[in-house]
Structure 1
Amino acid sequence: MNFPLFIAQRLFKEQSDKKKVSRPAIRIATAGVAIGLAVMIVSICVVLGFKHSIRNKVMGFGSHIQVADFMTLQTSESYPIQMGDSMLRVLKKVPGVKHVQRFATKQGILKTDNDFLGVIFKGIGQEYDTAFIHANLKAGSIPKFSDAKSGNQILVSKIMADKLRLAVGQKIFAYFIDMNAGVKTRRFTIAGIYETNLSQYDQAICFTDLYSAVKLNGWESDQASGAELTVHDFNQLNRSEDYIIKNVNRTIDKYGETYSSKTIQEISPQIFSWLDLLDLNVWIILALMIAVAGVTMISGLLIIILERTTMIGLLKALGARNSTIRHTFLWFSAFIIGKGLLIGNLIGLGLVVIQKLLGVIKLDPSIYYVNVVPVEIDWALIILLNIATLFISVFVLIAPSYLISHIHPSKSMRYE
């Protein structure tokens, strides 16, 4: 039988005695652990949700990896690269790659009778994964974009629609500058309106079919601006990129253009650097909350030891070692911490679930890129957080527990 554990269980069950001086201290210690854990859970879930929401939006416009002409990836101009069936088969065999889709871009101007707006037309083909556009579609529908013929339909963002007063089904003229042929004019129909709240993309990109973008650029049918690759596991992104660098980059197509590649992190470094800074905020919050929980537990343990001085002296008189008594109070502290963890999980996860289901807390999308606070529950991290909080809180109590060694049986018997 574990004697320290048995005594600790008896002490823990006696907390209902209102005459005990330590009762408020135990409540404060429990509350400190519970509040600290709840704050940590909410912080982690919010940061994870925010990072993944913004990251998914950025990747929705540029996927995980882009393979294109070297000059396209180094400048804002779009240069053609061969993207025929043979190159697509090569890219689909890259380890970890889930999906490959072509794209072509062309800068142009949308013009109404009263206003005009410079935009980037992104041409996409029938293989393009439109799940991201569907998730952010506000009005209309997504037409079947093709690389074989033009449907003369476009998707514009809500920002564009508001500036030009556009509506679904409306016709609009687009003008394109060609260095050889002069100005080209096309008449498009607004098929749908999307909104991602990622303003730097919403202000610039409208979607059309790949055929139109290629023809407007004056390219061959097997050319495009590049290909976008989606990987199965974002954490293994660099592995796929390394394979592309070794086997695709620096090779030359039949038109004499050079293949190159970039990850979405290299294409949008400012956004990903900003998201990485959020991790530092989380670590600061975790450190502060664990420190608060540790201080409250130390205070509570000292009060409990002082209140139980007579009991400690009696145990020593009966032959109990200092280590046995210390283990008893550490077990008792573990029970208090465990109760605080249970309450903290209920509060923290409860708040997260309420936000996830109801979206109670709203945000300004022009600043935060999302209209509600996004949350994401990672059970592995939450379990790890509970275990770490328990062990750290017990660990910081080891030193204060040595106060028991200075209590003498003869003096403690007279302690009141």
Structure 2
Amino acid sequence: MKLSRYLSSKLIKNKQEGSARPVLIIAQISITISIIAMLISFSIIRGFKTEIKNKVVGFNGHLQIANYSNIADAFSTDPITYPRDDVESIKSIKNVIAVAPVIEKPAILHENDLIEGIVFKGINREYPTDFFNKNIVKGRLPNLDTALNEVCISENISKKYNLDVDSAVRVYFFKEGQYTPRGRKLKVVGIYNTGLQDYDNHYILGNIKIPQQLDGWGDTLVGAYEIFLSNIDFIDFLKPIIMQKLDYDVQLIDVREKESRFFSWLEMLNSNVIVIYILMAIVAFINIIGILLILILEKIKFIGLMKTLGMTNRKLSTVFLWLTMRYIIYSLLIGNVITIVIIIIQNLWHIIPLNETMYYMSYVPMQFNIDYFIIANLAIIILGLLGIIIPRVVIRQISPAEAVRAE
């Protein structure tokens, strides 16, 4: 092994590849492009999935506690008590960030001769507002301590109705058993934009006391509780633990089931990535084989001389394997550096845009993941190690006498 590494280092220092050098450079570039394509595609898909999941969770929480009678109704029709001892006990579970009461009510927004159905989401100060604060484009969130007439609307709604911060808007609420909606004049104090059109086109945020008063629920009834975890990956682990703590009169709803349209779509993206990985791996493997064959053909006289001196085919194959691995590792280093630079630049300046209406975000998200970087690099190296089969077959066919006489 030491002799093989020594000879390969001597060969690469010699740099006598002759006419094959341009071909070797092209092969190296191809391997570099392959690793960049693999890493970038994974970073984009991972970043895209993370962003979409965070947005869906921002509107719904990771889990939701609701009345069993609300199974067929997405809105808060039958309330549950607030506070509850079983719900309070959930807050002490590790990786549970917040448990907040909410009320979602269908309503009608009537302004500037336009009428449209919306969803009023009532929250209180227990609700984690980091997601909405991050997506505020103008103004602020409603004051949840005292103000009962403040709302935050989406940028889509503000443009459609020609509304701005400090604009007055009239919202009509429906109450079960009543055919006439009850109107409420509210003040716009903030405008948000999450890019998630399905929500941005309909959701407005306000104080939970507004629907409580309109429905006559008082302060002791809410529509549901939304549970926020430190990571979406903890849902499967924490779900049975939380269910054990809940009383039998409520159900626990998983956001992945409630919004299955988004999560099913995201899972479909994995198949596209797998196809890209396979294609890039095939391209990389072909170029690795190409490098091996080019090096062998360029060093026929060397092979003949080593065979004459008694070196076995196996050791000669190992020499060229080490030589090829040097080219591969060099390509991987360049590919990794370029990929990291691209990810940093894109995340800082968002130079690659997206159609927000189609993709739910205005730029291509990229997420760095060290585990996958290691796996992708190891995969290319393993392909290089598998390539030792080729030089063994070729070297075995080379005659020492003919090789030494070759020009």
TM-score band, normalised by shorter chain: over 0.9
Paired residues in the alignment total: 405
- Indicate how the Cα distance of structure 1 residues 28 and 183 shifts in structure 2: closer, same or farther if over 3 A, else same: closer
- Indicate how the Cα distance of structure 1 residues 287 and 180 shifts in structure 2: closer, same or farther if over 3 A, else same: closer
Matches within 5 A, 1:16-35: 17=16, 20-35=18-33
Letter in 1 for 2:303: I
Which residue, out of 295, 310, 315, partners 2:286?
Answer: 295
Instruction: Report the CA distance between 1:83 and its aligned residue.
Output: 3.0
Contact 1:73–1:262, Cα closer than 8 Å, also in 2: no
Identify the residue that residue 228 of structure 2 maps to in structure 1.
230
Identify the residue that residue 12 of structure 2 maps to in structure 1.
12
Identify the residue that residue 163 of structure 2 maps to in structure 1.
166
Report the Cα distance in structure 2 between the residues aligned to 1:129 and 1:95, rounded to whole angstroms: 17
Residue 370 (structure 1) aligned with residue 369 (structure 2)? no
TM-score, reference length from structure 2: 0.94
Which residue, out of 332, 338, 343, partners 2:329?
Answer: 338
Report the Cα distance in structure 1 between the residues aligned to 2:232 and 2:396, rounded to whole angstroms: 54
Report the Cα distance in structure 2 between the residues aligned to 1:73 and 1:268, rounded to whole angstroms: 14
Contact 2:301–2:403, Cα closer than 8 Å, also in 1: yes
Report the Cα distance in structure 1 between the residues aligned to 2:111 and 2:230, rounded to whole angstroms: 42
TM-score, reference length from structure 1: 0.92
Which residue, out of 184, 205, 208, partners 1:207?
Answer: 205
Matches within 5 A, 1:125-164: 125-146=124-145, 151-164=148-161
Unaligned runs of 5+ in 1: 253-257
Instruction: Report the CA distance between 1:77 and its aligned residue.
Output: 3.5
Contact 2:82–2:222, Cα closer than 8 Å, also in 1: yes
- Indicate how the Cα distance of structure 1 residues 209 and 118 shifts in structure 2: closer, same or farther if over 3 A, else same: same
Identify the residue that residue 302 of structure 2 maps to in structure 1.
311
Instruction: Report the CA distance between 1:84 and its aligned residue.
Output: 0.8
Which residue, out of 219, 222, 228, partners 1:221?
Answer: 219
Matches within 5 A, 1:6-405: 6-15=6-15, 17=16, 20-78=18-76, 79-146=78-145, 151-180=148-177, 182-248=180-246, 251-252=247-248, 258-405=249-396
Letter in 2 for 1:136: N
Letter in 2 for 1:311: F
Instruction: Report the CA distance between 1:386 and its aligned residue.
Output: 1.4
Report the Cα distance in structure 1 between the residues aligned to 2:68 and 2:176, rounded to whole angstroms: 21
Letter in 2 for 1:101: A
Contact 2:5–2:322, Cα closer than 8 Å, also in 1: yes
Contact 1:105–1:225, Cα closer than 8 Å, also in 2: yes
Instruction: Report the CA distance between 1:220 and its aligned residue.
Output: 4.2
Report the Cα distance in structure 2 between the residues aligned to 1:230 and 1:61, rounded to whole angstroms: 11
What secondary structure, in the 3-state scheme, does the structure 2 residue paired with 1:172 have? strand
What secondary structure, in the 3-state scheme, does the structure 1 residue paired with 2:181 have? strand
Unaligned runs of 5+ in 2: none
Report the Cα distance in structure 2 between the residues aligned to 1:110 and 1:59, rounded to whole angstroms: 25
- Indicate how the Cα distance of structure 1 residues 335 and 179 shifts in structure 2: closer, same or farther if over 3 A, else same: closer
Deviations 1:84-136 (A, max 9, x none): 15233122134531211110111111212422221111100111111111111
Letter in 1 for 2:13: K
What secondary structure, in the 3-state scheme, does the structure 2 residue paired with 1:144 have? coil
Instruction: Report the CA distance between 1:286 and its aligned residue.
Output: 1.3
Letter in 2 for 1:369: Y
Letter in 2 for 1:196: T
Letter in 2 for 1:367: M
- Indicate how the Cα distance of structure 1 residues 220 and 322 shifts in structure 2: closer, same or farther if over 3 A, else same: same
Letter in 2 for 1:28: I
Q: CA RMSD in A?
A: 1.8
Runs of 4+ in 1 over 6 A off after TM superposition: none
Report the Cα distance in structure 2 between the residues aligned to 1:178 and 1:44, rounded to whole angstroms: 48
Instruction: Report the CA distance between 1:150 and its aligned residue.
Output: 5.0
Contact 1:22–1:300, Cα closer than 8 Å, also in 2: no
Instruction: Report the CA distance between 1:42 and its aligned residue.
Output: 1.3
Contact 1:150–1:211, Cα closer than 8 Å, also in 2: no
Letter in 1 for 2:202: A
What secondary structure, in the 3-state scheme, does the structure 2 residue paired with 1:21 have? helix
Report the Cα distance in structure 2 between the residues aligned to 1:177 and 1:231, rounded to whole angstroms: 32
Contact 1:326–1:402, Cα closer than 8 Å, also in 2: no
Instruction: Report the CA distance between 1:413 and its aligned residue.
Output: 2.0
Contact 2:175–2:181, Cα closer than 8 Å, also in 1: yes
